[in-house]
Structure 1
Amino acid sequence: MTKDPINPTTPESIALTNDILTATRFGALAVVDLDGAPYVTRVGLIWDGDGFLTLVSRLSTHTTALLAAPQCAVLVGEPGDKGDPLTHPRLTVQCTAAQVDKPAHKPTWLAQIPKAKLYYDFPDFIMFRLTPTAFHLNGGFGKAFRLTSADLAKN
């Protein structure tokens, strides 16, 4: 019988997940494009405690995809300056996207991504909330965890 590679959730895995989420300013967004093919792009992301906010242009493939099919995933967490990038923590978050009121989130967004003031008000830009459905933490080799929103609320 093969050992399950997923570890039981621990206070340390919850803390690491929260650290990665709160440090996030960008990530890789995975969607299914209109042809049914996977598509990944880098987007600005911020965690507001309930999900990610992302500001995207209606002219982009990923925005068209999110409007057509809201299931998506994001990969966040950056490799450190040294060593094998695969030994550094990263987090895949499966989400459901919903468009939200862009003006209501402007102060929060610009406080965390100030350079966005150059394009925030462009009429083609819209904002989505990416609400998590599952968290998959890879804390490095042998440190895989599946977490839920309820797990993160415990911290």
Structure 2
Amino acid sequence: MRTLIPAPLTPEAFAPFGEVLDATGDFRLINEGMCQRHHDRATLDFGPEGRAGISVFRAQPRALPYSFDLIERHPDGCQAFLPMTENPFLVIVSTGPEAKPQAFLTSGAQGINLHRGTWHGVLTPLSAPGLFAVVDRIGTTPNLDEHRYSEPWTVIAP
């Protein structure tokens, strides 16, 4: 069995794949000093033929150990996942179909923005309701490539 142990999601470790979206670091106060604005946290890229769209996903929760054999990418646009609850979720990414995937575990107060073309696993909440706002490319051309591993990977608890 091929296994992965998820690492904590940090901006430095996740940088090759995208940005971590959280309310840490520099901010400015807005709304009469009652709100911290952590400004411009992700580079949105939807290619020349697309536009930004916001969708809501409700994914079935999974549990560790979690086995998978499918990764996918969106060659024409980035994809941001913003949890609508404070529950950790699993993030699986890879530099390519032949490379060993990496697994990250969010803190429950983090979202992610995957760079355009980043290979990644499917949305993997670890608790119900698995509710996410997703910002991604809306367009008329196909924007999905899938790859199935010949042997599954299993993510085990850290």
Query: Which interval holds the TM-score relative to the shorter structure?
Result: under 0.3
Structure number with higher strand proportion: 2
Give the TM-score of the pair, scaled to structure 1: 0.26
Structure number with higher helix proportion: 1
Highest relative contact order (Cα 8 Å, sep 6+), 1 or 2?
2
Give the TM-score of the pair, scaled to structure 2: 0.26
